[in-house]
Chains A and B, each alone.
Chain A
Amino acid sequence: MGRVYFAIVNRGKANSVMKYTKSLGIHEGTILQGEGTVRSKILESFGLNQTSKEIVIVPVSEENDKKLHGAIAKKFEFEKQNNGISFSVPFKRWTKESKMMGLEQEPMNYSLLMTVVEEGHHNDIITVARRADARGGTVIHGRGEGVRQEAFFPINVEPQKDTILIVVHNSIKEKVQKEIRSYLDEAKNGKLITLPVVNTTGIFEDSGGVV
């Protein structure tokens, strides 16, 4: 069973994370650009509370996963607030030989809640999630499938989406899920995907700050 290691760091730091993973002999990985949110009443009321983040996604073995967690957290001082977090999701890498899907059971205390909504509505999700004691979230911009549309020049309409990543402890997972689901039901749009999380570093519990 493999893992996919996720690190959410401040913009500009992703390259050094990748450099470190290379030194472990892992020559692949993806970096996405995202936005974090700062908790500040004043900034929030003006909608000015975003901050630039990068999300590093690296497929790793279980053993490397542990190494990565320790080393990256130390290097970027994840014990301090706003410096970043990392977590791992158990993933099976599908190869030509792969047959059946089966995940062994591991102790999983955390979950990754991935909410996909229409562009511009990410703040709502973070607000409702916080109502259920989640700390905050990271927003990644994405898109849906492109659809051809005939205007004078043919254009490709790609529905723009925001994805909000929220990592929660399983003790509050259901509460957060409920809040998000009831928002999605009301908005009649969007979906929530919950993935298991095996390993975490960084600050997840206390209030305030950024995830």
Chain B
Amino acid sequence: MSLFLDKMKEVSKTLIPVVAMVLLLSMTIVRVPTDITIRFINGSLLLLVGLTVFLWGVEIAMDPIGNHMSREVASSSKLMKIAFLSFLLGFLITVAEPDLLILGNQIQSASGDTMNSTFIVYMVSLGVGIMVSLGVFRLLKGMKMNIFMAIVYALILVLGFFVSEEFLAIAFDASGATTGALTTPFVLSLSLGLSTYKGGQGTEEDSFGLVGIMSSGPILAVMLISILSGQKNIQGVAEDYVFLTGIFSPIIDILPIVIKESVFALIPISILFFGFNFVKFKLDADEIKKILVGLVLTLVGLILFLTAVNSGFMDMGRMLGMKIASLDKRVLILVGFALGLIIVLVEPAVHVLGEQIQSVTGGSIPISMIRTTLSLGVGIAIAISMLRIVSPSVKLWYFLLPGFAIAIVLSFFSDPIFVGIAYDAGGVASGPMTATFVLAFAQGAASSIETANVLVDGFGVIAMVAMAPVLSLMILGLIFKSKKVVQLDEHHEFVEEVVSLPQESLAYHFVMVVMKRGYADEIIRFAHNYGVGDATVYHGRGLFEDHSVEIPLMQLELHEEQELVCLVVDSSITDTLATNLVNNERFEKEADISIYVTMSE
């Protein structure tokens, strides 16, 4: 099976529940016009292909691009260069984000044209640039994620008292809009690359969190705009929505817009990369070819995906929201919850994040566990959003600010790697699916309920979707931490032993050492004392003989992270090395090492 089929299987697993549920609803409790249903089915097929191709392309192109760019940033010896380069990366990927321009236009019309959409786009991009820059500093300097985010959100909480509820919603929506289909995978791979170059014990924790930090930029920017301009209330009403008609004509109408948006979104990353390649990296032709193929796949996939969502999913969402809301309010909340559970798994960035968690932790954090937690979070978020639409007395800030406040407190008790993942999950969950299908569902519902305001209630759904997973994953991190064996962080220096080496012989032994993650470099340094030069380290997961970790509620046995060190050892010193390794108290007690020796040619 090739990577393509693997991905298609993975995507269809997440898509089928959505299609099944929507079709079930549209055939039972609500009546949906035939053309919308057909467009939805067509859209699902298009989405399946589009998302598969997109994820495929991202894996091929984004990883190397993120890796090379991050090396350029991390290996710099000048502070200003690190600051400027990371600012530029953040700024450029945001300014080209199509969702942000749409949001800018919405704010412009909502403010009665007192605010200019271009101004908003630039301010938000500036905010993202600054936050990415700070985020890169945090990562390289090794500042704790929970402390960093506590400061950022404390600032947001304080500013939150000075802005109106409408702007609070817009601010958080802006953060959802900037973490688009393309930016999130790119920033994820960037932070993975940076943490790899930083190295050391914190590599894993540092691989996450940059998306979370980045998405706080727009929140701060929009809040500051509101406070400085004195703009408090949103005026105007949403325009009457007109459903698209026909089966294929909407696709043809939407396609040119989507192509333009997708190309624009991809341009800044490509220009930066190829610019740097021309000046600095100078990769060989094969690698460039591969990246180009990956970029083309990414582009084609993105176009298909966005076309599918816009032509097939939006009207369906709106129609379902309208009809169900006029039917029964409790059903609306229930459907909202169920929809949230499954829709988040179709978000492109959720797949990318899952892939990254898997590779960073060597698979020791089960992805199914992360997905379930994300689902629950988003389900509850959408249920609450529906509750808010149904009853005007329920305000957004009842949930939003306390939610983040609790998340900050939990972040000090949660497993460190989950802190980064949790903050990232907010940006990851609020992707294009939420921005179109879920938003349309909410707006449809709001248009059927007299007390609701389509514009005000529409804003805020994304904000909830961005908040809830942060909280739910922090809680998962708490459970996880209580189950995990504590690892010692202190650095240990060896007493150099002088070993008299026998004469070199011709035979070699192959020595494989298996241990807990984090000890590989020590083992290698230990082996250097015996004249062993070359070593290769592999990172994986597994079980140890004398202990295992289980999460009782979920019936899961957790694998621990392991490292495997392979050494080629001169046969005359194998005995000494292996015996000394086995007898090393620290390795035995803390690292759980086991040693295997075999012949090698």
Binding site for B on A (CB under 8 A): 2, 4, 10-11, 14, 18, 22, 27-33, 38, 40, 43, 46-52, 54-55, 57, 59, 82, 89-96, 98-101, 103, 114, 116, 120, 140-146, 149-153, 155-158, 161, 163, 191, 193-196
Which of A91, A120, A153 counts the most B-chain CB atoms under 10 A from its CB? A153
**Which residues of the partner chain A approach B542 to less than 8 Å between Cβ atoms?**
18, 28-31, 57
Instruction: Please give the distance in Å from A51's CB to the nearest CB on chain B.
Output: 5
Closest B residue by C-beta to A162: B536
Q: Is the CB of A96 within 8 A of B582?
A: yes
Which of B200, B543, B594 counts the most A-chain CB atoms under 10 A from its CB? B543
**Which residues of the partner chain A approach B568 to less than 8 Å between Cβ atoms?**
191, 193
Any A CB within 8 A of the CB of B555: no
Q: Is the CB of B599 within 8 A of A103?
A: yes
**Which residues of the partner chain A approach B514 to less than 8 Å between Cβ atoms?**
30, 57
A111 CA to B173 CA in the complex, in Å?
58
Q: Is the CB of B574 within 8 A of A156?
A: no
19 contacts between A and B (CB under 8 A): A10-B1, A28-B542, A31-B559, A38-B2, A46-B293, A94-B581, A100-B575, A140-B538, A141-B538, A142-B539, A143-B537, A149-B75, A152-B77, A152-B79, A152-B82, A153-B74, A155-B199, A156-B198, A158-B199
Q: Is the CB of B596 within 8 A of A93?
A: yes
Nearest 3 pairs of A and B residues by beta carbon: A156-B199, A30-B542, A32-B540
**Which residues of the partner chain A approach B566 to less than 8 Å between Cβ atoms?**
114, 193
Any A CB within 8 A of the CB of B260: no
A169 CA to B535 CA in the complex, in Å?
27
Do A142 and B363 contact each other (CB < 8 Å), given the known contacts A94-B578, A94-B597, A195-B510?
A: no
Do A29 and B543 contact each other (CB < 8 Å), given the known contacts A142-B536, A193-B510?
A: yes
Q: Is the CB of A30 within 8 A of B540?
A: yes
- Give residues 161-192 of B contacting A (CB, 8 Å): none
- Give residues 239-272 of B contacting A (CB, 8 Å): none
Q: Is the CB of A47 within 8 A of B1?
A: no
Closest A residue by C-beta to B197: A155
Known pairs A29-B543, A51-B6, A146-B521 / 12 extra A-B pairs, C-beta < 8 Å? A4-B596, A11-B6, A22-B543, A32-B539, A46-B293, A89-B598, A145-B535, A152-B79, A156-B197, A161-B536, A193-B601, A196-B599
A200 CA to B163 CA in the complex, in Å?
68
Q: Give the residue of B56, B539, B579, B600 whose beta carbon is less than 8 angstroms from that of A98.
A: B579
Which of B39-47, B282-290, B408-416 faces chain A?
B282-290
A89 CA to B286 CA in the complex, in Å?
35
Any A CB within 8 A of the CB of B564: yes
Closest A residue by C-beta to B137: A153
Chain A interface mostly: strand
**Which residues of the partner chain A approach B196 to less than 8 Å between Cβ atoms?**
158
- Tally of A-B Cβ pairs under 8 angstroms: 189
Q: Is the CB of B598 within 8 A of A157?
A: no
**Which residues of the partner chain B approach A140 to less than 8 Å between Cβ atoms?**
538
Q: Give the residue of A14, A43, A89, A120 whose beta carbon is less than 8 angstroms from that of B287.
A: A120
Any A CB within 8 A of the CB of B530: no
Q: Give the residue of B140, B141, B536, B575 whose beta carbon is less than 8 angstroms from that of A143.
A: B536
Q: Is the CB of B200 within 8 A of A101?
A: no
Closest B residue by C-beta to A57: B564
Instruction: Please give the distance in Å from B362's CB to the nearest CB on chain A.
Output: 7
Q: Is the CB of B141 within 8 A of A153?
A: yes
Any A CB within 8 A of the CB of B105: no
Which of B197, B578, B596 counts the most A-chain CB atoms under 10 A from its CB? B596
Q: Is the CB of B287 within 8 A of A156?
A: no
Instruction: Please give the distance in Å from A173's CB to the nearest CB on chain B.
Output: 9
Do A156 and B200 contact each other (CB < 8 Å), given the known contacts A4-B512, A32-B564, A195-B599?
A: yes
Instruction: Please give the distance in Å from A64's CB to the nearest CB on chain B.
Output: 14
Q: Is the CB of A32 within 8 A of B538?
A: yes
Q: Give the residue of B3, B536, B583 whose beta carbon is less than 8 angstroms from that of A144.
A: B536
Q: Is the CB of B543 within 8 A of A18?
A: yes
**Which residues of the partner chain B approach A101 to less than 8 Å between Cβ atoms?**
509, 571, 574-575, 597
Closest A residue by C-beta to B547: A27
Any A CB within 8 A of the CB of B391: no
Instruction: Please give the distance in Å from B57's CB to the nearest CB on chain A.
Output: 10
Any A CB within 8 A of the CB of B118: no
Any A CB within 8 A of the CB of B318: no
A131 CA to B56 CA in the complex, in Å?
29
Instruction: Please give the distance in Å from B290's CB to the nearest CB on chain A.
Output: 4
